[in-house]
Chains A and B, each alone.
Chain A
Amino acid sequence: MINWKVILEIAKTHLVTKKKSTITATLGVTFGIGAYITLVSFMTGLNEMLDDLVLNQTPHVHIYNEIKPSEKQPITLIENLDEAFNVVHSIKPKQGQRKIHNALPILNYLRNDENVRGATPQLQAQIFYLSGSIELGGNLVGVDIMEEVRLSNIRDNIVEGTPEALKNSENGILLGAGLAKKMSLSVDDRVQVSTAEGNIFPLKIVGIYQSGIAEIDNIQSFAKLKTVQRVLGEAENYVTDINIKLFQINEAEQMANRLEKQFDIEAIDINEANAQFETGSNIRNLITYAVSVTLLIVAGFGIYNILNMLIYEKMKDIAILKATGFSGRDVKYIFMSQAIIIGFIGGVLGLCIGFLLSKLIDGAPFETEALPTITTYPVNYKLGYYMIGFFFALLSTIIAGYLPSRKAGRIDPVQIIRGT
């Protein structure tokens, strides 16, 4: 039978009368947890921002029609050459169109799939931007702009003008920021584009697009799907790419494989396309946890030390408690509960300090040319990290408190009482 009320009362008295050591031990935990929360909030905020930067521009599944040589050359169809060895020189890609066959039915099919949040058609066209006598190579992407706004963060990347302006204009263009700078163009100016065939088309600039990635901003612009189809002189079913966003990103790989087989097209999933970003995030997380765990281990040693000292100081008290009927287990719990109280208070304070520091970082200005939508440092306030932090605080104090407490529980009262 354990009488928690008495045990906690004694634990409380010990903590209150030893204010200095209690505060030192608590602060150890507080700083450990505070640092963990700050680090993890900042690091994951940064991770998320970088992931967003790249991944939000990347569809979960990207469908396109690749230009490549036929896998089966005519010679393999000759049956009596089965056992023979053949060599074909100078294989060229198959004659075919870049467009996706049956793009509209595929789109319809995808939009009815319950795992799909949205599917948007795109038409990527290689064009030249004409600025006086200068021709700049680049691409013009025809999009269903409102669907893009719904499914990606394109709105954040339109630094001037609005997506609605593009929607309402028959020959509007969202010009890449790099291009606009090179050609000294701004909103409401006109830009001429020329197709590979040499057809020249004037477009009105309704907005400036800046992704933050210079290589993209220097070559890429957006226009309405219809506009680009008209520029290329193609029919309304001419679509070169379909971008799919799923509800569950981890279904992307499976979906891509299925679509490849079903429609005989190329489908690439996000993980395949961006494997290196995952690695970067993982390593940053690893560093965060390594630093935090180190801090907590240091705090744990502090608690271990302080409890050890306390137990040496309280030898006589322990002996007297045991002589008057407290069992070894009671004594162990008295010191364990001190460790847990320190962990609890230190943990809660640490969470508060972590939160305040994150707020501070969140408010600190962070402006960079490359990231037009970011004005302050990114911070992630996920409840899960606070829960992990609190759990860490308790775990480290319990581990640090266990050994000294067990020692206290095993003290032989007779030795102490006779020893004086």
Chain B
Amino acid sequence: MGLILEAKNINKHFYKPKDFQVLKDISFGIEAGEFVSIMGKSGSGKSTLLYILSTMDTDYSGSLFLNGGLVTGKEHQELSRIRNKSIGFVFQFHYLLSEFSVLENVMLPAKKLAEKSYDEIEHDALEKLNMLHIEHLATKKASRISGGEKQRVAIARALINNPTILMGDEPTGNLDSFNAENVFQIFKQLKEEQALSLLVVTHDGDFAKRTDRIIQMEDGRIVHQ
């Protein structure tokens, strides 16, 4: 199987408060259906790397390929579309739009993509919620549900456009062990049942150990993978 995501010689500097090279010559790839975790101490650059891979941060040198196509240097509009269609993102703090209902939150990226009719989107969204066992929350306001539920809603939202890769920035960092385990099981199930590629930044050693591959980072370099 080919590489879903490939980074070649990625370098990044922070210029404020002073010049500091946060990523040094990072190169690696993720295959389809692979569950990869990135570990490292705070400040090792793992989150920075993730945001570059997610196409949100464009201020770097090197090249990034997604599904075999070069992403680096594309227009912002184009990158937004790529994020919308091919990348699902789960954050540490669930980040739902609190004024919308759970269902609307899940549907929003699909509405933006506008490849399906409203009814189809709603059907898909309910299906995703169903898969994550939270369909009963569909009509609730996003601000009215618990942390673990929020994270599952965020996962449903990340999956709504059937992305090729799911990225997580400490998706379990803010959850208790029960919910963290729950999220891990969901990820694992996604990998096994839908052959989804996953890339997760985490502090949690137990979580990382159970993934297919651990990329260990230190001082902006990959020290082990």
Contact = CB atoms under 8 A, between A and B. Distances in A.
Contacts of A417: 51, 91, 95, 169
Given A417-B91, A418-B47, A325 B111 contact: no
B95 A13 contact: no
Nearest to B52: A414
Given A324-B83, A325-B80, A417-B169, A6 B111 contact: yes
Given A325-B80, A325-B83, A330-B80, A6 B112 contact: yes
Nearest to A319: B95
Contact of B81 (A325, A413, A414): A325
A96 B33 CA distance: 115
B77 A329 contact: yes
Nearest to A5: B111
B38 to A, nearest CB: 15
Contact of A327 (B77, B114, B158): B77
B150 interface: no
Contact of B85 (A5, A325, A329, A420): A325
Contact of B109 (A9, A325, A328): A325
B19 to A, nearest CB: 19
A112 B149 CA distance: 89
A325 B82 CA distance: 7
Give the size category of B's interface with A. 20 to 34
Contact of A14 (B85, B95, B99, B157): B99
B70 interface: no
Contacts of A364: none
A317 interface: yes
Contacts of B51: 414, 417-418
Bin the interface of chain A by size: 20 to 34
A385 interface: no
A3 interface: yes
B47 A323 contact: no
Given A14-B99, A317-B97, A323 B111 contact: no
A324 B57 contact: no
B94 to A, nearest CB: 10
Given A327-B76, A327-B77, A417-B169, A3 B83 contact: no
A319 B112 CA distance: 15
A5 B51 CA distance: 29
Contacts of B95: 316, 319-320, 323, 417
B100 A323 contact: no
A86 interface: no
B131 interface: no
A14 B99 CA distance: 8
Contacts of A418: 47, 51
A133 interface: no
Given A13-B99, A417-B91, A420-B93, A324 B108 contact: yes
A326 interface: yes
Contact of B112 (A316, A320, A326): A326
Given A13-B99, A329-B77, A417-B169, A323 B56 contact: yes
Nearest to B100: A13
Contacts of A262: none
Contacts of B157: 324
Interface in A1-27: 1, 3, 5-6, 9-10, 13-14, 17
Interface of B: 47, 51, 54, 56-57, 76-77, 80-81, 83-85, 89, 91-93, 95-100, 108-109, 111-114, 157-158, 161, 169
The 9 closest A-B pairs by CB, nearest first: A325-B84, A327-B80, A6-B111, A324-B109, A17-B99, A325-B83, A320-B95, A414-B51, A3-B114
Interface of A: 1, 3, 5-6, 9-10, 13-14, 17, 316-317, 319-330, 413-414, 417-418, 420
Given A5-B111, A325-B112, 19 more contacts: A3-B111, A6-B108, A6-B114, A14-B99, A17-B99, A317-B97, A320-B97, A323-B54, A323-B91, A324-B83, A324-B112, A325-B81, A326-B80, A326-B84, A330-B112, A413-B56, A417-B95, A417-B169, A420-B92
13 contacts: A6-B114, A13-B99, A319-B95, A321-B108, A323-B89, A323-B91, A324-B84, A325-B112, A326-B80, A326-B112, A327-B77, A327-B81, A328-B76
